[in-house]
Amino acid sequence: MNKLLQIMALAIGLTYPFFASADTKEVIVNRSNLQIAYEEVDGKSFLYYKGPIDSGSGIRLKRMFMTYDPDVFVISSGGGLVSDAYMIGRHIADHNISVTVERYSLCMSACAMIVMASDDFTIEGKIGFHTPYLTFLPTEFTIIEALKNHSRDHSDFVNYFHENGYSHSLVNDILRQTSKSTFITFDNEQDLLSFRTYDIGVRPENYYSLYKIEEM
């Protein structure tokens, strides 16, 4: 009987090889506002992230990237702190990690800043950029200090686009045409990559038709 079962198992494995797959899946974080998981499929590894980009997300994700060494980072997020997004994006760029925004998923604000840094990203859902803004203003800040900080935030924002090879035309449109609730959006990677000219002065042809302006 044992011999018969072994033969049947072998036959099933040959007919349906995915039954014999060594794929694994690990839930790392499972909270109401944050889900992180790791999965291996057909020899390719995926780190999934769904939730805000908050204070500490940069360090947390860099550690996970080093621990799991994923081929693909799959992200869905409404955004958060752009400083943490810069940290994540630079790590992704330095380590050649692919990024995917899955169908029906949104990747907005700080999340979009992560996606754009990858040299190999796929947009099946939607990503959206908007101008950086101050999320809080401590009472001990003077008006002059606040203005200086806001100016620095804008400079960092512009420099990050240039660092990743994007034309100044895109970042200029984001700064001029968006707000906290208004986004420049892309629903495919080809249109966004049209702005990756590696020459900040080059404006892609028909560039106004490459994105939408949406209230979100």
pLDDT in tens, 39-75: 999 999 999 999 999 999 999 999 999 999 999 999 9
Contacts of 20 (CB under 8 A, 6+ apart): 13
What homologous superfamily is domain 2-215 in, according to CATH?
A: 2-enoyl-CoA Hydratase; Chain A, domain 1 (3.90.226.10)
Q: How confident is the model at residue 153 (pLDDT cuts 50, 70, 90)?
A: confident
- Listed residue (102, 153, 98, 157) closest to 129, CA to CA: 157
Domain residue spans of the chain: 2-215
Q: Classify 173 as helix, strand or coil.
A: helix
Q: How far apart are CA 3 and CA 216, in angstroms?
A: 62
Q: Out of 10-19, 21-30, 150-159, 160-169, which region has the weakest mean confidence (pLDDT)? A: 10-19
DSSP class of residue 77 equals B
* Cβ(115)–Cβ(96) below 8 Å: no
Q: How far apart are CA 210 and CA 177, in angstroms?
A: 15
Q: Using one digit for the tens of pLDDT, what is the confidence trace for 123-149?
A: 999 999 999 876 544 555 554 555 455
Which residue is listed with tokens 């997020």? 77
pLDDT exceeds cutoff 70 at 32: yes
- Joined together, the tokens standing for residue 165 give 């090879």
| pTM of structure | 0.84
* DSSP H/E element including 147: helix 143-163
